Structure 1
Amino acid sequence: MQQSADILKLFEESAIAAGRVILDIYRAGAAVRLKGDTSPVTEADEAAERLILAALARHMPDVPVVAEEEVAAGRIPDVSGGRFILVDPLDGTREFIGGHDDFTVNIALIEAGTPVLGVVHAPALHTLYLGGAGKAEKVKLDDKDAVIARMPIAARLKGASPSALVSRSHNCDATDAYIRKAAILERKTVGSSLKFCMVAEGVADLYPRFSPTMEWDTAAGDAVLRAAGGMVATEDGAPLTYGKRLPGLRAFENPPFLATGRPSERG
């Protein structure tokens, strides 16, 4: 079995390569169409996913891969063995279409329902986050995707005035109600899985999410946050799990969750 550090390196290199393809299309302007569930998709989503899947097939051929556009096309592998990879080639497609830079590439390894390794790459921001193998890091890249710096990150303890992150494109009344009930005065709107990473690096305290998400939306950011000392939990306080089928939800759909920083802030 491959070492965790080698897998993280593969995920990092694959995400960066996919980011180059995405940025080329982003700068040129992408054609948009709707999938069967009415969510948008572009050629950037599809080209990035093909690149990532090819890399994973070369280096980890025996590990099933659940990828967003593959699932949309009806190609869903058997993950009953408990070890599989989740891929969202372009998280924040609406941000991408709208000209916002906070879209990401997400790759995560799941073992026994837990995201143990993950990479989140924000190509337009020249920033990458990774988590697992005993570390959580923020990586800064130059315009040619060479590494400028690697910095360890850690989730913070919640202060007297906690701050919350909410989705730019998928906020809902239930999330707003939670923030009001928790008396959180500071909130920031951010797209994509970057919200997990911002909690992981200690620039925000929590990310409540009550509108629908899929496992490929959250797994990589979840892995980064856990490696940084944080947690993603369901409303009953249990850790969010992966490869699940829950009553009333689609395969790989998440229930509502709360992503938080270090343990002392959890009730």
Structure 2
Amino acid sequence: MLDVLERTAVEAGRAILSVKPSCAGTMIKSDQSPVTIADHMAEDIILNALLRAFPGVPVVAEEAMADGRVPQIEGHAFFLVDPLDGTKEYINQSADYTVNIALIENGIPVAGVVYAPARHTGYAAYKGRASKFMVAADDGVCDRGDIRCRAKGGSLTAVASRSHSNAQTEEFLRVNSITSCLSVGSSLKFCLLAEGIADVYPRYGRTMEWDTAAGDAVLRAAGGRTSLVDGAPLTYGKRRQASDCDFANPHFIAWGADR
């Protein structure tokens, strides 16, 4: 499975890189988020690859959902796909965007790939193992190494979004005496925790499950956890929510290792 997910993410990343942001035909969706030709190209590649490799496994993908194509996931393992997480970063020609593919079983992200095409860097989770890899000029995966969250020290380093900081995030940092904060876009925030560069990612803002599942899979496999603000675990496959739409996440805190 992991080989398929990695090859698919790299192929989708290659398609994204083939489109110049200035020529990407940016449009604004009904939720006021941007979408580009690159988003759609990458999603088509991923959906076709998953259908060929895993027929019968439902796929919840961001742009398909925006078009009203909602698969039945009840009682099934399913994939969550964000073909271009960090579209704003892509448009602004930052390298902080990713391709996200995750497998969900019983509400838990058990496998996933996060690939940052502009960095030629990827992260993977499978069978409880988290790894980081590079992608060579021929699109082959190379230089793979296992990664783990670092143990908590006397001071913590937080990682936060460049686009979504707010008063609640600032209060979390103050209450936890955190003065060191790294800023990065997309699901790379989870990956910085997973490889031991930072300790905590507080998210007091709206996200969707396809935004977080692949990065969360990598973090959990590296020894971290993602919890709601009340300490309950973040789960996936949330439908018929009274307070929000299907597949929307509540606020959460992603943590590296406890010790």
TM-score (structure 1 length as normaliser): 0.94
> CA offset at residue 134 of structure 1?
2.7
Pairwise mapping of residues 4-43 of structure 1 onto structure 2 (< 5 A)?
A: 7-26=1-20, 29-43=23-37
2:87 pairs with one of 93, 114, 125: 93
Distance in 2 of aligned mates of 1:137 and 1:110: 19
> CA offset at residue 238 of structure 1?
1.4
* Structure-2 residue corresponding to 1:239: 233
Distance in 2 of aligned mates of 1:34 and 1:137: 35
Pairwise mapping of residues 74-223 of structure 1 onto structure 2 (< 5 A)?
A: 74-223=68-217
- Structure 2's unaligned 5+ residue stretches are none
Contact preservation (8 Å) 1:131, 1:224: yes
Distance in 2 of aligned mates of 1:60 and 1:222: 22
Paired residue total: 258
Bigger Cα displacement from structure 2, 196-205 vs 242-251 = 242-251
- Structure 1's unaligned 5+ residue stretches are 1-6
Distance in 1 of aligned mates of 2:168 and 2:242: 20
Distance in 2 of aligned mates of 1:173 and 1:33: 29
CA shift in 2, pair 1:26/1:81, >3 Å: farther
Give a deviation string over 1:50-94, Cα, whole Å, max 9, x none.
Answer: 000000111111100000000000000011114110000000000
* Structure-1 residue corresponding to 2:249: 254
> CA offset at residue 247 of structure 1?
2.5
> CA offset at residue 28 of structure 1?
6.4
Question: What is the percent sequence identity of the aligned residues?
Answer: 53
Contact preservation (8 Å) 1:214, 1:253: yes
Contact preservation (8 Å) 1:118, 1:219: yes
Contact preservation (8 Å) 1:196, 1:225: yes
Bigger Cα displacement from structure 2, 65-74 vs 155-164 = 155-164
Distance in 2 of aligned mates of 1:156 and 1:251: 34
Bigger Cα displacement from structure 2, 122-131 vs 241-250 = 241-250
Whichever residue aligns with residue 257 of structure 2, its letter is: R
2:42 pairs with one of 42, 48, 65: 48
Contact preservation (8 Å) 2:135, 2:142: yes
Give a deviation string over 1:168-209, Cα, whole Å, max 9, x none.
Answer: 112222111111111101001100000000100000001100
Distance in 1 of aligned mates of 2:181 and 2:20: 28
> CA offset at residue 147 of structure 1?
2.5
Whichever residue aligns with residue 47 of structure 2, its letter is: L
> CA offset at residue 27 of structure 1?
6.3
Cα root mean square deviation, aligned:
1.1
Whichever residue aligns with residue 247 of structure 1, its letter is: A
Whichever residue aligns with residue 65 of structure 1, its letter is: V
TM-score (structure 2 length as normaliser): 0.97
2:62 pairs with one of 55, 59, 68: 68
